A and B are shown apart, each in its own frame.
Chain A
């Protein structure tokens, strides 16, 4: 019994260790409905966390770059565009209209995220 538990824990640790994106997404899915005031998106390990952020209309969202490499936050549809963010630099944008806002890092376009404004 104890053995199977420890294997499960180990497996979970491995799975978590392998994908920060997965962790962030899980967190946001669980936390978003209860905590709509969450307004910070962390850029870490070449990913946006949470990858999908759901906020009420009028929310000011701040992105902060925690990587050793510069990133940008650029709306895919041209709604917002940050300057390049070096380590620990921030970018904020206030979402005044409901909708889905996909965005990406224009330097590392594999990095994508989404803000859902309700």
Chain B
């Protein structure tokens, strides 16, 4: 840590003006990408085009995993009539990564309509990925009609409540949260009191130096409440994580990559493997966005995350399927 302020960014490595004073807001829209390396509390950002300049050690950490999101298996509207094909392309992309990730996180909307055959298809396609372990949290499309019963039966072994859980990998603590249940009229995503109490207890005994990775479907920061892109009680959850030096929050739901850094917390949303959605407020509604067929793969993607243990660094890299 070298006595530096944890939330101060000291250099604008990219000369792109997204640095300054402990608050950094970089939005990497679909089709572009940013690599953020947090080291000793100091965040460095690189654009994907500069990746080849990075040394292997910088680009690849001791722990590497991949996030995929919003597969929407079963969706067949004009925005993408081959969501199987694009999920397969995502698996190909994962299998082509220079360092094989140890596991995958799926941040929900596995299925489009919670149909058993939709889940089956995703399971089958993901079996072809090199990483064999997949950790899931549900999206609202995965818990339709049955309050998430099927989701829990399939993916919720060992989880608490509606499917929340935590696990440790190489000194990093991973927390899967559920914010798509019991949504209230006019409201946003919700974690609920039971889950918040569990979270408080789950992190109570961890060392402050332990890197924390939180993953949930709906963003845990206020991306665009007008479209429901936020979580009512996320502030309470984040308050329990304040004491930690490095917190990475990974979400899906909004079908585009977006990043924000606030103090010790890096928020990141992943692209969908199925179809893009419009930028906040840039359309009448957040419905699927139709793009020309040849551009589709450039607005879908996967997110690769590496963690350098000795440096307490988490690197988040988005790549498109193109």
Contact = CB atoms under 8 A, between A and B. Distances in A.
B113 interface: yes
A69 interface: yes
B40 interface: no
Q: Is the interface of B mostly helix, strand, loop or mixed?
A: loop
A83 interface: yes
B195 interface: no
B187 A109 contact: yes
A39 B313 CA distance: 58
Q: Is the interface of A mostly helix, strand, loop or mixed?
A: loop
B10 interface: no
27 contacts: A18-B284, A19-B284, A20-B285, A45-B287, A46-B227, A46-B284, A46-B285, A47-B285, A67-B287, A68-B77, A68-B287, A69-B288, A70-B141, A72-B144, A76-B185, A83-B145, A84-B114, A84-B144, A104-B186, A107-B144, A107-B183, A108-B228, A109-B184, A109-B188, A109-B228, A110-B226, A110-B227
- Counting contact residues on chain A (CB < 8 A from B), the size range is 20 to 34
Contacts of A103: 185
A18 to B, nearest CB: 8
Contact of A110 (B77, B186, B284, B288): B186
Interface string B262-289: 0000000000000000000000111110
B112 interface: yes
Interface in A51-94: 67-70, 72, 76, 83-84, 86-87
A28 interface: no
A50 B207 CA distance: 54
Interface of B: 77-79, 112-114, 140-141, 144-145, 183-188, 226-228, 284-288
Contact of A20 (B114, B188, B284): B284
A104 B184 CA distance: 8
A46 B185 CA distance: 14
Contacts of B286: 46
Nearest to B114: A84
Contacts of A108: 140, 228
A87 B183 CA distance: 22
A104 B228 CA distance: 13
Interface string A96-118: 00000011101111101000000
Contacts of B141: 70, 107
A72 B143 CA distance: 13
Contacts of B228: 108-110
Contact of A70 (B78, B113, B227, B284): B113
A89 to B, nearest CB: 10
Contacts of B78: 68
A85 to B, nearest CB: 10
A14 to B, nearest CB: 13
Contacts of B288: 68-69
B186 A112 contact: yes
Contacts of A110: 186-188, 226-228
Contacts of B284: 18-20, 45-46
Contacts of A45: 284-285, 287
B141 to A, nearest CB: 7
Contact of A46 (B79, B113, B287): B287
B113 A102 contact: no
B115 to A, nearest CB: 10
Nearest to B189: A109
Contacts of A47: 285
A24 to B, nearest CB: 12
Interface string A1-33: 000000000000000001110000000000000
Given A45-B287, A46-B227, A68-B288, 16 more contacts: A46-B286, A46-B287, A67-B285, A67-B287, A68-B77, A68-B78, A76-B185, A86-B113, A87-B77, A103-B185, A104-B186, A108-B228, A109-B183, A109-B185, A109-B186, A110-B187
